[in-house]
Structure 1
Amino acid sequence: MRSTQPRRHRLYAESATGIRAAEPALVIDSPTLAPLRVLLTDNIMSRFATELNQTDSGTEWTIANTWSEQQILAALPDTDVLVCSSMSSQMAVRAPGLRLVHVTGAGYDKIPLADLAPGTRVSNTFHHGEAIAEHVIMTALMLSRRVIPVDRDMRAGRWRTVANDLTVPFHGTLRGRTLGLLGFGGIGQEVARLASALGMRVRAVRYNPAGAVPGDLTLDWVGGLDDLPELLGSSDVVVVTVPLSEATRGVIDARALRQMRPTGILINVARGPLIDEDALVDALTEKRIAGAALDVWWGAPSGDGAAPAAVARFADFDTVVLTPHYSGHALRTFQLRAADIAANVDNLAHGRPLARVVH
């Protein structure tokens, strides 16, 4: 019979070789009979060990973000919970006793659901909407005020303003402009709140145009996806927040870009393939739209940290803001996500219902 005496369970820090550190990062006492064994492979979440260890169930956490694939595969048969941003089918097959896969963000498209053992649950976490909304407004301001070319002039020693150069255009303001949202989920709603606070009119297209709108928001107009041309033609700033699916892949194509205003700004914080890459390059080259902000890309970065090849196609445009899918990477976002994960691990340990189950 297993002892019911309190046991000390450690949150282990892993070296690059995969050897557990001699001293535990944190130790907690718990009377649990069978502490959950949690394997964490996500780079970002590995920086939140303190927040993750806010459990009361004597959980044994192993931080394995620096492990090789073979080391992870070897550990999975003895793992109860996997905390990750992605996993392979091979990993799923090697984890027949896995009780929970906790994704470290909202998306779970990189989890092979069909390969998981029966009974394995998948949960996710959010908290990124506010940070992404701030990024959207930041880039809209940068583009409407021509910050990139002005910054380049200053770095080159050139002082050019409307006061001393009649060729310099006046910059715009966001107040009184119209912001159009392609997608009106959590991120779209946070963008709408900030845009409204700046005095912008907000319009949206969504899957269900008759769906409820939060009580603190007033939309100028709401349409379905078939009404996208109306949104594009009436908006000064178009923000793409809709999920990627076969129905939405390439939804912003050459035709859609021609429907935008020549002074329009396109901001994508959803997924790269929602926009036709070639069509966007053409629209920017021919100045058929005023600018774009791209936080998501076509293709993935290489393992050595090099940017996706698509980035080079936009690098010379001073009308494009380029960022490496970091609009949601706020400290607060991941602190709250870590707290969610820790609470859900406790739920599992105590037999309580899991939160945010997606599978």
Structure 2
Amino acid sequence: MTESSAAPRVVLGEWQHDEGFRRTITTPATLIPAPTLRDEDVAPLLPGADAFVSKRFTPGMAAAADRLRLILTPGAGTNQIDFAAVPAGVTVCNVYGHEAAIAEYAFMAILALNRDLLNMDARFRRADWSDRTERETRPEIAGRTLGVVGLGRIGSEVARIGRAFGMRVVAVTRTPRAERAEALELADLGGMADLPRLLAEADFVVLAVPLEASTTGLIGAAELVTMKPSAFLVNVARGEVIGEAALYEALRGGRIAGAAIDTWYRYPEANESVRPSAFPFHELPNAIVTPHIAGWTVGTFRHRWETIAENLRRLSSGEPFLGVVWPPADGGSHAA
């Protein structure tokens, strides 16, 4: 076998030992697992590698990538890819397929927050019947206003499910179009400049925007004050979309009714036990906290594995890749 037809060398920064993922790859390839995504663990594996499956790419990795042709992120987010460090001639692709799972999570959270499900469960496990005899009844979500921030694949699916629940759905997005509003049966669709209006009228707010310069700190203290004291916030975007201290103080002080948080400010690099924030969100009774698992379903992983496997096949065949995010089609910089 000549060098040009040799099986590509693929460094795995994700699913290193997942047999389901390996079985999905039917194209001959040499798979090289990286123990972590730290530079010191990845860089020694990159010389001679053709492809890298990873949510993270750094200048330190780029310095070692002497033959790299393809970076495959394991999800839609590319905020940990340093595009300025990506070597010339290298393509970066992302992958979706998680919108149904994440939208389901958002509504699981909305329903649980609305009925105070987790706290009610904890009380009843202590034989406390007060939710039936003493506490005020809560309204249904039907007929109430759902505000969706970001109308990509996830936001669109959240809006669709909201309408199925009989909710009034409003949204903001970077490129509002009348036909999009009509297709999703939205009561109102505005641009990002209309965010304050959405926050003021929504009973439930779901954040579903990518993390980039324009969305970092999108929701801060001023925006949280705009929300109704009875409103709930669900973050399935990225942690940094919301000001960390501002969110904690709004929840602790009862400025908003509650929140479900699945995306965070600090993550373990391996299997360490790491608190996800500098603030003790886990102590708050009006917060549902989960370890960034909204999209972790069988269907999501099957779609991601199949798409990445297809791109590895295309790497060998020379066909165009799926889900290209770099280089940008318009020749400009990465979305910011």
Separation in structure 2 between the aligned mates of residue 258 and residue 75 of structure 1, nearest angstrom: 49
Structure 2 vs 1, CA of residues 155 and 228 (structure 1 numbering), >3 Å: closer, same or farther? same
Aligned-residue offset at 1:344: 0.8
For 2:231, give the aligned amino acid: G
Alignment partner of 1:298 out of 259, 265, 272: 265
Hey, what does 2:237 align to over in structure 1? Answer: 270
* Alignment equivalent of 2:125, drawn from 135, 155, 172: 155
For residue 309 of structure 1, report the CA deviation from its aligned partner.
Answer: 5.2
- Displacement of 1:279 in angstroms is 2.2
Partners in 2 of 1:338 and 1:255 — Cα distance?
41
Matched with 2:332 is none
Moved more, 246-255 or 36-45: 36-45
> What is the deviation of 1:331?
1.9
The secondary structure found in structure 2 opposite 1:341 is: helix
Structure-1 residue corresponding to 2:113: 143
1:41 maps to which residue?
A: 13
Distance, in Å, in 1 between the alignment partners of 2:37 and 2:107 is 38
Map 1:42-57 to 2 at 5 A: 42-43=14-15, 46-55=18-27
Name 1:337's counterpart in structure 2.
304
Is the CA contact (8 Å cut-off) linking 2:206 and 2:236 kept in structure 1?
yes
Structure 1 residues 282 and 39, CA gap change in structure 2 (3 angstroms): closer
1:188 to 117, 136, 155: 155
| Compared CA separation, residues 282 and 113, structure 1 to 2 (3 A) | closer
Deviation of 1:33 after TM superposition, in Å, equals 3.3
Higher helix proportion (structure 1 or 2): 2
Could you give the per-residue CA deviations for residues 212-231 of structure 1, whole angstroms, max 9, x where no partner exists? 51774211101111111211
Q: d(CA) in 2 for partners of 1:196 and 1:45?
A: 41
1:9 aligns with none
CA distance in 2, matches of 1:309, 1:188: 24
Superimposed CA distance per residue, residues 52-71 of structure 1 (whole angstroms, 9 cap, x where no aligned partner) = 3233xx32333344698656
Secondary structure of the residue aligned to 1:122 is strand
CA RMSD of aligned residues (A): 2.4
Q: 1:1-359, aligned counterparts within 5 Å? A: 2=1, 33-43=5-15, 46-55=18-27, 58-65=28-35, 70=40, 72-162=42-132, 165=133, 167-210=134-177, 212-213=179-180, 216-301=183-268, 303-308=270-275, 310=277, 312-359=279-326
Task: Specify whether residues 305 and 215 from structure 1 end up closer, same or farther in structure 2 by C-alpha distance, changes over 3 A only.
Answer: farther
Instruction: Pick closer, same or farther for the CA change 1:52–1:245 going to 2, 3 Å.
Output: same
Amino acid of the structure 2 residue aligned with 1:34: A
Q: CA deviation at 1:311?
A: 6.8
User: What SS does the aligned partner of 1:133 have?
Assistant: helix
Is the CA contact (8 Å cut-off) linking 1:146 and 1:171 kept in structure 2? no
How has the CA–CA distance of structure 1 residues 253 and 333 changed in structure 2, closer, same or farther, with 3 Å as cutoff? Answer: same
Q: State how far apart, in whole Å, the 1-side matches of 2:136 and 2:278 are.
A: 28
Distance in 2 separating the partners of 1:173 and 1:301: 38
Q: Give the number of aligned pairs.
A: 326
SS of the residue corresponding to residue 113 of structure 2 reads helix
1:45 Cα deviation (Å)?
7.6
Deviation at 1:260, TM superposition (A): 1.1
Q: Secondary structure at the match of 1:213?
A: helix
Residues 39 and 215 (structure 1), Cα distance of their counterparts in 2 relative to 1, 3 Å cut: farther
Q: What secondary structure sits across from 2:46 in the alignment?
A: helix
3-state DSSP of counterpart to 2:314: helix
| Counterpart-to-counterpart distance in 2, 1:235 and 1:59 | 50
**What one-letter code is carried by the residue in structure 2 that aligns with 1:33?**
S
1:183: how far off? 0.9
- Equivalent residue letter for 2:97: H
Structure 2: segments with no counterpart, 5+ residues: 327-336
Q: Could you tell me whether the CA contact under 8 Å between 1:45 and 1:334 is conserved in 2?
A: no
User: TM-score under structure 2 normalisation?
Assistant: 0.89
Question: How far apart are residue 300 of structure 1 and its match?
Answer: 2.9
Distance 1:119 1:191, change over 3 A: same
Task: Give 3-state SS (helix, strand or coil) of 1:315's partner.
Answer: helix
CA–CA distance in structure 2, aligned partners of residues 70 and 298 of structure 1: 23
- The 1:112–1:52 alpha-carbon spacing in structure 2 relative to 1, beyond 3 Å, is farther
Q: Select the structure of larger CA radius of gyration.
A: 1
- Distance (Å, rounded) in 2 between the aligned partners of 1:49 and 1:146: 38
* Residue pair 1:45, 1:104 contacting (<8 A) in 2 also: no
State the Cα distance separating 1:285 from its structure 2 match: 2.8
Name whichever of 138-147 and 281-290 sits farther off: 281-290
Q: Which residue of 2 aligns with 1:27?
A: none
